[in-house]
Amino acid sequence: MNPYVILSDGVSAGVSELKENVDDVYHQDFGIGPAKISIKDIFGKAYKYLEPPNSTISNDENVGSQTVSIIAESNSAFGQENFVSMFDRLDGSLFDGSINTGTKKKKIFAPFSTYTPTVVWPYQRSDGARYTVHDLAKKDIGIPDWVEKPLSVMIKQDLDIDEDGKADYGGLPLFNWLADPAMGVGPIILTGLLGYIAFNIVTTAAPLVLSPV
Amino acid sequence: MARTMSAYKIDAILHWQQESEQRKKALKELEQLPGEADEAFLQRAESLPQPRTWLAFALDPLEDGAPKSAESDSPGMLDATDPKNADSLLLDPSWSNATVGQDPDTVYFYSQAQKGRDSLGERLIESVYPSIVHKTAAGDYVPNLWNLFQNKDGSRFEGHEIDSFPLRTLYHGGGAAWNLLFGAGVCVLGAFVYRKAMPALFAGTADIIDETVEVVIMD
């Protein structure tokens, strides 16, 4: 068998086993007699005092469109908006929605989710809608409870921003600044490729067009 | 592919398209009567029903007025309690319903309905990219003619059918690359067509100028 596969399987099995063991210890009852005490209970009680304030995410419905076009004009009948006219309509705003903690609002930097033309946008939701930084914000990180609670206390930030009881990417520090540019890397590379091809076409085709036949 | 509009909305769009074309045609065919003054003719043209934007149609299809209210939470700030707004499309719950993906029967119905339209350009665009399908990612722009993926029942395999998000992103990334290459291909083809057509155009224009100059000089 391939040594890489052996190593990969071994590491994977080891991590799963470790996770299960920690999970078992976390839920194990250390109480004596009728008294039930587990690490989970202790964590839960401590968390009540140390818990960071609740955070939620909001999305501005007036920003963005299902179809962002390059050439075609904006047409509300078809859920389509030209990226230039949208930029104009929104006064060049680069933000969409916010992560709210009490009265404090962290605006979400979302120029790529908002303005990137659909023709080069590679992200889509399972229900067929445009996948934006707000969808990424609500995506579960997939960490267990015994990691989520200490982590949220350490970073003083509620990780469950969509209120489904699980930690979300949107709760991580600097998510509101870094996530959208990270999503924009793919379209940027593709647009760069387009620019490169277009440049080569112009330099190749222009002499052909201008030269006498 | 993306999302297909509700039957309710499609029906309204077809009505709007029909209304717009009828009104444009009526204005185009309007002729000045013998002895009619220019101002009277313009007034008569302005008194005819004018083509409307889709939003204006959706707000008030019957053109009986669309009262708004500052306290209203309804779309377009329409006053939902006013009987005049009973015809407003925006206040109907069916307005925002959509089917996930491209519904072949609905698209077929819409495409057939487009065949009766006046504009050849719009008919062509609608046959490749039906407007009733919201395109939400790059793979949705690959026309059926060039699409490689198909379900067993013959329908188009679409991005949203892929459960894994990274794979779905890869699928649409491939679509984006195809779009870029196809766009580049169109540019190359256009350049060659331009090159072939232009000498004749140049030659024709040059001949006209040449002959005109000769005639003027000869005179």
Per-residue pLDDT of A10-51, as tens digits, reads 888 888 888 888 878 777 777 777 777 777 777 777 777 778
Dihedral, CA atoms, A205, A211, A212, A213, nearest 10 degrees? -30
Q: Which of A77, A79, A124 sits opposite B160 (nearest CB)?
A: A124
CA distance B88 to B57: 8
Q: Do B187 and A128 touch (CB under 8 A)?
A: no
Above 60 in pLDDT, residue B106? yes
Cβ-contact A59, A107 below 8 angstroms: no
Q: Taking the domains of chain A in order of start, what are their residue ranges?
A: 1-50, 54-210
CA dist B19 → A129, B82, B88 (Å):
30, 25, 16
Q: Do A208 and B192 touch (CB under 8 A)?
A: yes
Above 60 in pLDDT, residue B1? no
- Any domain includes B189: no
Nearest CA in chain A to B14: A77
CA distance B140 to B77: 33
Cβ-contact A43, A146 below 8 angstroms: yes
Computed over every residue of chain B, the mean pLDDT equals 85
Read off the pLDDT of each residue in A142-154 and give the average, rounded to a whole number: 83
Q: Which residues pair with A100 in a beta bridge?
A: A56, A105
Domain of residue B54, residue span: 3-136
Read off the pLDDT of each residue in A88-105 and give the average, rounded to a whole number: 92
CA distance B177 to A197: 11
- Any domain includes B52: yes
- Any domain includes B179: no
Describe chain A by its helix, strand, coil percentages, rounded to 5: 50, 15, 35
Better pLDDT: B192 or B86: B86
Above 90 in pLDDT, residue A172? yes
Q: Do A197 and B181 touch (CB under 8 A)?
A: yes
Read off the pLDDT of each residue in B140-150 and give the average, rounded to a whole number: 89
Kindly report the nearest CA distance between residue B34 and chain A, in angstroms.
40
User: How confident is the model at residue B175, as a pLDDT?
Assistant: 92
Percent of chain A past pLDDT 90, that is, above it, reads 38
Nearest CA in chain A to B101: A128
Nearest CA in chain B to A199: B184
Q: Which of B16, B136, B179 sits opposite A66 (nearest CB)?
A: B136
Q: Do B137 and A186 touch (CB under 8 A)?
A: no
What lies within 8 Å, CB to CB, of A211 at 6+ separation is none
- Kindly list the residues of chain A whose beta carbon comes within 8 Å of any beta carbon in chain B: 66-67, 75-80, 118-131, 186-187, 190, 193-194, 197-198, 201, 205, 208-209, 212-213
User: How confident is the model at residue B204, as a pLDDT?
Assistant: 65
Residue with tokens 């719009």: B122
Q: Do A66 and B131 touch (CB under 8 A)?
A: no
Percent of chain B past pLDDT 90, that is, above it, reads 32
Nearest CA in chain A to B179: A119
- Any domain includes B89: yes
CB burial class (10 A; 0-12, 13-18, 19+) of residue A137? buried
> What confidence tier does B202 reach under pLDDT thresholds 50, 70, 90?
low
Nearest to B117 by CA among B196, B26, B50, B20: B20
Under DSSP, is residue A34 helix (H, G, I), strand (E, B) or coil? Answer: coil
Q: Do A119 and B188 touch (CB under 8 A)?
A: no
- Any domain includes B58: yes
With both helix axes pointing from N to C terminus, report the angle between A145-154 and A39-50 in degrees, rounded to the nearest 10.
30
Kindly report the nearest CA distance between residue A53 and chain B, in angstroms.
30
> What confidence tier does B131 reach under pLDDT thresholds 50, 70, 90?
confident
CA distance B161 to B150: 11
CA dist A103 → A99, A100, A113, A173, A192 (Å):
10, 7, 25, 18, 41
User: How confident is the model at residue A49, as a pLDDT?
Assistant: 79
CA distance B219 to B206: 20
A179: Cα separation from own chain's centroid: 6
- Any domain includes B38: yes
Q: Do A121 and B176 touch (CB under 8 A)?
A: yes
B16 chain-A contacts, CB cut-off 8 A: 77
- Any domain includes B162: no
Computed over every residue of chain A, the mean pLDDT equals 86
Model ipTM value: 0.75
Above 70 in pLDDT, residue B217? no
User: How confident is the model at residue A210, as a pLDDT?
Assistant: 61
CA distance B169 to A135: 14
Kindly report the nearest CA distance between residue A183 and chain B, in angstroms.
11
Q: How many CB atoms are located within 10 Å of the residue A126 CB?
A: 16
Above 70 in pLDDT, residue B86? yes
Cβ-contact A53, A102 below 8 angstroms: yes
CA distance A35 to A29: 9
Q: Which of B103, B106, B131, B136 should be substituted to probe chain A, the one whose Cβ sees the most A Cβ atoms within 10 Å?
A: B136
Q: CB pairs under 8 A, 24+ apart, for A26-35?
A: A26/A144, A26/A145, A26/A146
Count contacts between A and B (CB, < 8 Å): 127
User: How confident is the model at residue A85, as a pLDDT?
Assistant: 93
Cβ-contact A95, A165 below 8 angstroms: no
Q: Which of B95, B135, B170 should be substituted to probe chain A, the one whose Cβ sees the most A Cβ atoms within 10 Å?
A: B135
Q: Do A67 and B135 touch (CB under 8 A)?
A: yes
User: How confident is the model at residue A212, as a pLDDT?
Assistant: 59
Better pLDDT: A146 or B18: B18
Q: Give the length of chain B.
A: 219
Number of domains in chain B: 1
Better pLDDT: A97 or B213: A97
CA distance B8 to B89: 9
For residue B206, the surrounding DSSP H or E stretch is helix B165-218
Residue with tokens 């459960």: B163
